[in-house]
Amino acid sequence: MNARARLLMFLFAWAALGPAVVVLILHLPRFGAHALPYGDLINDSAPRERHVTNAVSAVNFDYRGIDTLGEEFMLLCAVTGVVVLLRSKRGERVDAPAGRVEARSLRPRSDAVSGVTRVLAPVTALFGLTVALHGMTTPGGGFQGGVIVASAILMVFLGEGYRSWRKSAPSIAFDAAEGAGAVLYALCGFASLLAGLPFLTNFLPLGTLRDVFSGGLMLIENAGVTLAVAGGFTVLFGEFLEETRVETRDDES
């Protein structure tokens, strides 16, 4: 089947789908004006029963906490998959980089670049942690904060070059951080079980509304997510960047 036949067939299908979609759109509820029973229930319950102001975080970590648990392990799964795909084939022990790869990165970075990143990276990391920490009260949370922290670590890579990055941050640490974050989240659930409550029941003191440390068990879960996401995305960035090194080496030789 060539490109044209494929396209024709596709357009044909949409000729049938188009009217259906139009009918559907006409039947959908008016945008912004329909009942939201589930959302209202949560909006009512989250500040009252969980003492957090960010209802989205409350849904993520409490009302539908098991979803986020699954999501963390999905991330773990994907990162493991990427590691298997990219790292195993490189064949080397990652924490002991091969000579030529190292040789390439010996080229000194300009001082300006590393100076800027030395200032920027900690600031970004701090920002990420702030975003993660305030997840219960204001927009943000473990996921967004974790990604920002991971990009801060990436900056260290860009500024300091490959070698010192590897030295200061062996990939095994990030693997472990990833796994530990996800496991921490799951252990929160088992802690509830040990307390004789249903899985992931929030049994810790809830704190006061609008306080950063409100939300009880959600805080620990949030920390777990931060750890898992920061570790996971760092591993992803690291693995992809590792590829650029191997490839440039090939091209130069």
Partner 1 sequence: MNALPWAVSAGLLAIGLYGMVTSRHFVHLIGCLSVVQASTYVLLLAAGFRWNAIAPIFYSFAPGTPAVDPVVQALVLTDIVVGATVTALLLALVLELHKRRGTLDPDQLRPLNRDRKG
Partner 2 sequence: MTLLLLLAAAGGTVVVLTRSPRRQVFAMAANGLILALLFETLQAPDVALAEIVVGAVALPLMFLVILASARMDRAPRRPDAGR
Partner 3 sequence: MMWLSVLPPLTVVGPLVIAGLLLIASRALPRPIPDIIALATTALTFILCLLLVRHTGHQPLVYWFGGWVPRHGFPIGIGFVIDPIGALLAAFIGVLFFATLVFAWGYYDEVHAHFHVLMLLFMSGMIGFCFTHDVFNMFVWFELMSVAGFALTGYQLRTSALEGALNFTVTNAVGSYLFLAGIALIYSRVGALDFGALQRGVAAQPHDVVVISAFVLLTTALLIKAAQVPFQAWLSDAHAVAPSPVSVIFSGAMVSIGIYGIAKLAWSVFAPSAEIRHVIRVLLLAMGAFSTVIGGVMALLQRHLKRLLAFSTISHVGLLLIGVALWERRALAGVFVYFIGHGLVKGALFMVTGILLALRGSIDEIELRGRGRGIWPAGVAMAAGGLLLAGLPVGLMSGGSDFIAAGANALGQGWLLWVVILGAGCTGAAVLRSSGRVFLGLGPVAGQERHSPTEEDKEKADRPLWLMLVPTTALLVLSLVGTRFGSDVISRATLRFMQPDNAMILDGAQAIPAPALALRAPPTSYTAWVSVALALAITVFSLLHHRLPRRASRYLQPIRPMLTSLRALHSGDVRQYVMWMAVGLAAFALAFAVS
Kindly give, in sequence order, each residue whose CB lies less than 8 Å from that of residue 251, ignoring residues fewer than 6 positions away.
none
Give the interface segment with partner 2, choosing from 4-12, 33-41, 174-182, 235-243 (CB under 8 A).
Answer: 235-243
Helix (H, G, I), strand (E, B) or coil at 140: coil
CB of 210 to partner 1, least distance (A): 6
Tell me which residue has tokens 């970075």: 109
Give the interface segment with partner 1, choosing from 62-70, 104-112, 166-174, 200-208 (CB under 8 A).
Answer: 62-70
Helical packing angle, 171-194 and 217-252, nearest 10°: 160
CB of 23 to partner 2, least distance (A): 20
**CA atoms of 67 and 65, how far apart (whole Å):** 5
Tell me which residue has tokens 């990939």: 171
Give the interface segment with partner 1, choosing from 113-121, 193-201, 214-222, 236-244 (CB under 8 A).
Answer: 236-244
CB of 18 to partner 1, least distance (A): 8
**CA atoms of 161 and 99, how far apart (whole Å):** 15
Rounded to the nearest angstrom, the gap between the alpha carbon of residue 112 and the centroid of all alpha carbons in its chain is: 30
105 is a site residue for partner 2 (CB under 8 A): no
**CA-based torsion, 181, 184, 188, 190: positive or negative:** positive
43 is a site residue for partner 2 (CB under 8 A): no
173 is a site residue for partner 3 (CB under 8 A): no
Q: List interacting residues with partner 1 (CB under 8 A).
A: 3, 6-7, 10, 14, 17, 21, 24-26, 28, 30-33, 36, 38-40, 42-44, 46-48, 53-56, 58-60, 64, 67-68, 71, 74-75, 77-79, 81-82, 85-86, 89, 137-139, 143, 209-210, 236, 239-240, 243
